[in-house]
Each structure stands twice: as structure tokens, then as C-alpha cells.
Structure 1
Amino acid sequence: MSAKKLTAQQITDYHKDGYVIIKGFFNKDEVDRMYTTALEDDAMAKNAVDLNDQTGKKTRLSLWFTPGNDVFGYMTRSERMVNAVAELLNDDSAVCHFHSKLMQKEPKVGGAWEWHQDYGYWYKNQFMFPDRLISVMIALTPANKENGCLQVIKGSHKIGRVNHGFSGEQVGADMVMVENALKTMPLVYSELEPGDALFFHPNLLHRSEANLSDYPRWSIISCYCSNSNLAYNERATSWQVPIDTVPDEAVLEWEAASLSEADFMTKEQDPALKQS
């Protein structure tokens, strides 16, 4: 399997809109392996963090920093991911991995994510250059309006960083600016099928509703950083380490280690969840 390349139009769309969706970025067999691992590897459940939304519903995530020799490490380090990220970051320095997280929205109880920018969190990590950061969401199950798919405000990354405060246990954007953005730019529901990839800019305003459907919504979000970027309040070191890229076939074909070897985050370690 050869590494996939983004088209010129996809790169243009990312910079214009703040996001781009690539259909079928991972195939069914690859997704099946990742989803099975997410369900069966005890390390995911043992290291999950619950964050309450404004209504008290819980949204659950497991977050780790160093991409290892587990199936999600292979996904994060795969040629198709690293090459696509490099094209969108458009920086001469190497691509590094900041962190990855498994997002787990269970049926009926999975909480909402309030309106925010990822850089609303990462500003507290004191990353200097938001354009040298990017997130990639890979759907492990269908994501649609019924189960709380990601909503984005198209083009809102061009506003720059918006002030953020706390919404429940989450960091939420200034709602006056959010409402202004909604009056100015289109709201888009980012509906995804398993294996689809959503690449998005750290200043893109986005949110998701609670999952009130009968079906789970699980996804992996990997966040990347250019080696030329600097962070002055980040204890983890993965963001400084160029990725050791693996062939695309590793996701499906290589023997994979357990996620128990991963360096998971706890709530206490995250500077974004501390008052400042």
C-alpha cells in the first residue's frame, strides 16, 4: 500500500476553511483492528479521564503522548498521516507528535463538548505558533447528527485565538465571539464514516452535542506539532521529537504492543485544566 497524498484542492480547502475531510483515509480492516483494540485493551479503560460538560454529562477520553509500537502508535506514525500533516503544516522542520486521545461517547450518556478552539487549551501549554499545530480525527464508528458528531464554524480559524474560560470541567470559548462567528460563517456538521479523517486547525471553533442515540461514537484524535514550534509550559517531551515514521501496512499487518506501555495523561497533569 503506497502512502496517500493530499490533492492541491484539499490543501487549499484546509487553509481556506480551517479543516478538510478525507474520505476512507483508513480502510475497514484497519479500522476494525483499531476499534477492537480500543474496546479490548484494558489500558484504555484504566487510564480514561471523565470531563463533565455544563449539564453534568460525562465525556470520556484516554490521552497519551509518545506514539509507541501499539496499533494507534502505528496509525499516528504511518506514512499517510505524517505526510499529510507535513503538507498541511507547510513547515521546513520535522513533524512531531504532541498527543493522541481516544474519544468515547457512549449511547445515551456521552456528554457534549462545549464550543472551543484546541489552541484555547494549548495556549496554556504556551505553544508559540498555532499554525504549526494540527489535529486529525479518525472515526472508529459512524459520526452523525444523531450521535453528536463534531460541528465546526467554517473559516473561523481566521479569527485568531478567542478568550476561553471554564464550561463545567471543560475549557470553553467566549460565547459572544462564538455567536458573532455563527452570524458570520457557516455551521457545518462533520459527519464521518469509520476510517474517514478530519484534519483541522487549532483555531477552528468546534463543538459536539451529547450522544443521545442508541449507538456509540468513538474516534481517535492525533495532534501534531512542527519541530520548529516551542512550548514553554508542557511537561511531556513528545512534541519535540521527530516522528519515527512506519509504513502504512503496519496498522494492519505488524504485531502490536499493548497500550499499557503508553505515557497516559491524568487530569492533574494538564495545564489547560488549571485556573490561571
Structure 2
Amino acid sequence: MTLQMDLPTLDDYPTRKSTEAALLYRRDPTVWGTAEEGPFTDSELQDHDRRGYTRLESLVGDAEVLDHRDELDRLVRDPGLREDERALVDPADGGIRSVFEVHRVSEAFEALVNDPRLVERARQILGSEVYVHQSRVDHRPGFGGGPLYWRSDFETWHAEDGMPRMRAVGFSVALTDEHSHNGALMVMPGSHRTYVSCLEPAEEDGHERAGTPDRGALTILAGRHGIDVLSAEAGDVTVFDSNCMYGAGANITPFARSNLFVVYNSVENVCEKPFSAAEPRPGFLASRDFTPAGG
């Protein structure tokens, strides 16, 4: 593996184009807005810029969490949804594990995706109006759900969807308690400042074809930044920079883990032709509807 810190090329974030992995400098800000433009304080924005993620405790109330958990239960029990391309079905037991474009499937989740508590913070971090690049609910029942290997979402969105810049942010809303023992996310804080150029996409995992980071690159980043385990209580929200390196272990406990994940992209950063794929992914994975959220 080489350490290639600068590339004078039209594609500032090349990936899946070389025989060697590379670590590249990030060329975009993490925070595009200011404290005057939204609910985050200046100190909170600085922390987000430094770590690449922000924790928001109890942003969604207990009653709301229960309502959305009931809605998720309804979705995963819906036999008609199993035939929908937006549903990711576990071949082992036929259970629905994820529902993509969930804000188009469910009015309850549409309301949460467009909730000012999320949208205003996304606008503030990205410094513009935002649209929903992707939404999904993930349901991992007890004794279900394998590990999630390390990845940077931006690498996938850039390579597969044609997202030009690192001007997108993900919001994970915990619908159940998340602990280290039931597969809570792990993040390398500060890893968002380094772009990991990958060799090839992983084997298709459900609907995703995330690039697989080189083990040498992961070792360097983990040694430099460490690893945070993002335990959360139901109703907590975690805000991720698009280039954070994250992963998760398998859930072998009896305790379910479920969450809503929504990606907001700047309307000034709309997706173009994919940078490392023959054609873009379907719209339910990477929306081409750039209508601003929260309207």
C-alpha cells in the first residue's frame, strides 16, 4: 500500500481505479455553515469538525420512538413488502432486515425524515438546503444480523452514485437501545479527514456495493485515531460525516437493534455520472430527486 497524499486530477477522490490502495487528503470542509444558521452551537460545530460525528441524546421523545417502532414492526410484518425491491430480505428466514426509501413507503417515517430537528441541523452542517439522498430503516432482531465491515459511505456514493464532493451527512436515529454487545456502530473519530481509495467493491451485500478498505489503511487510521463504540439509548441521534470510517459487529444477543438512517446531501452537490461504475444505482438507493427536504 502507498501513502499518496495529493493527486492533481479532475477526480479529487479516485477509487477502484488502481492496483494499490491509497490514503488521500480530504479536499472539502466538514462544516459548511455557522452557529448563526441553526441549532448547533459554535462549540458543537467545532467538535463535529474535529471528530466527524456528533451525538444528540434523547432528540426523539419516548412516545415518538414507540410509535416509530410500531411502524417498523408493521413494515417488517407486511407480506406485500417482501416483494418490493426496496425491501432487503434475509434469505435464511425470510425476514425483512432493511427497507430503503422508507420515507416513500411510510408516512410516519416521511414525517421524521422531514422533521426540523434533523433537517435544520443537516442544513447547518452543509451550509445549504438539503435533499434526501437515501433513507432506510434497519431491523436486526435478537440473534440476527451479521457484522458490518469497515467502510466510508462517501466512497460508495462517489464511486457508485456520482456524488462529487464530501458535502453530505448521515443521521442515525436509534429506535432501540444500542450497546457494544448487540452490534452498536464503531467509528474511528477523525478518520473523516482522510479518504481511503479502495481497490474493488465488496461482494454485493444486499443492495450495497461498498468499497473494501485495505487492511493496511485501516490499521493506520485505527492507530492514528482509535475506535469509539457508539452506544445509544432509543431516541438518541448520531450525526455522521459522509467520510467517517465505521463498522459494526454481529448481534448474537437476544436484544434487537433497529434504527432509521437518512442521508442528507447538499442541493449544491447533486449526483452526476458515477465516478467508478458503469451506471448509477437505482433511485431507491441513491435518489435523483433533488427536491429540498423539510419543505
TM-score (norm: length of structure 1): 0.78
C-alpha separation in 2, matches of 1:110 and 1:195: 21
Task: Pick from 64, 68, 84 the counterpart of residue 30 of structure 1.
Answer: 64
Query: 2:141 matched to 1:106?
Result: yes
SS of alignment partner, residue 253 of structure 2:
coil
For residues 33 and 165 of structure 1, the distance between their equivalents in structure 2, rounded to whole angstroms, comes to 41
Return the alpha-carbon distance in structure 1 between the equivalents of residues 106 and 146 of structure 2: 31
- The one-letter code of the counterpart of 2:265 is C
Does 1:226 pair with 2:276? no
Structure 1's unaligned 5+ residue stretches are 53-57, 246-276
| Cα distance, 1:89 vs structure 2 | 1.1
> Which of the numbers 245, 249, 252 marks the counterpart of 1:212?
252
> Quick one: distance in 2 between partners of 1:152 and 1:59?
26
* Distance in 1 (alpha carbons) for counterparts of 2:291 and 2:114: 12
Q: CA 1:83/1:106 → structure 2, altered by over 3 Å: closer, same or farther?
A: same
Which one of the candidate residues 182, 190, 199 is aligned to 1:147?
182
Q: Distance in 2 between matches of 1:64 and 1:85?
A: 18
1:179-202 alpha-carbon deviations (Å, 9 max, x no partner)? 110111120000010010000011
Alpha-carbon deviation of 1:168? 4.3
Cα distance between partner residues in 2 of 1:111 and 1:242: 34
Residue 128 (str. 1) matches residue 164 (str. 2): yes
Spell out, residue by residue over 1:90-127, the C-alpha distance to the aligned partner (whole angstroms, 9 max, x if none). 23xx2111111111212112111100001121012111
Structural mapping, 1:1-276, within 5 Å: 5-41=39-75, 42=78, 46-47=83-84, 48-50=87-89, 60-64=97-101, 67=104, 70-91=107-128, 94-123=129-158, 124-130=160-166, 132-163=167-198, 165-170=200-205, 171=210, 172-233=212-273, 234=280, 236=283, 237-245=287-295
Q: Counterparts of 1:7 and 1:185 in 2: how far apart (Å)?
A: 24
Q: What is the Cα-based RMSD across aligned positions, in Å?
A: 2.3
Does the aligned pair in 2 maintain the 1:116–1:164 contact within 8 Å? no
Give % identity.
19
| CA spacing shift, 1:168–1:89, aligned 2, 3 Å | same
Amino acid at match of 1:241: T
The one-letter code of the counterpart of 1:150 is L
| Corresponding residue for residue 9 of structure 2 | none
| AA at the equivalent of 1:7 | T
**1:239 Cα shift?**
4.7
Instruction: Output the amino acid matched with 2:165.
Output: F
TM-superposed deviation, 1:9:
2.0
Contact 1:227–1:239, Cα closer than 8 Å, also in 2: no
Larger Rg computed on CA atoms: 2
Once residues 114 and 59 of structure 1 are traced to their aligned partners in structure 2, the CA distance between those partners, rounded to angstroms, is: 20
Deviation at 1:150, TM superposition (A): 0.2
In structure 2, C-alpha distance between the alignment counterparts of 1:214 and 1:135, rounded to whole Å: 27
Distance 1:103 1:66, change over 3 A: closer
Using a 3 Å threshold, how does the CA distance of structure 1 residues 145 and 66 change in structure 2: closer, same or farther?
Answer: closer
Opposite residue 118 of structure 2, the aligned amino acid is M
Rounded Cα–Cα distance in structure 1 between residues aligned with 2:225 and 2:96 = 27
Contact 1:66 1:99 in 2 (8 A): no
Q: Do 1:225 and 1:239's aligned partners in 2 also have CA atoms closer than 8 Å?
A: no
SS at 1:160 equivalent: strand
Retained in 2: the 8 A contact 1:11–1:87? no
- Partner Cα separation in structure 1 for residue 199 and residue 171 of structure 2: 22
Shift, 1:207, TM fit:
0.1
Query: Contact 1:141/1:193 (CA < 8 Å) preserved in 2?
Result: yes
Which amino acid in 2 is paired with 1:194?
A: A
Alpha-carbon shift at residue 14 of structure 1 (Å): 1.2
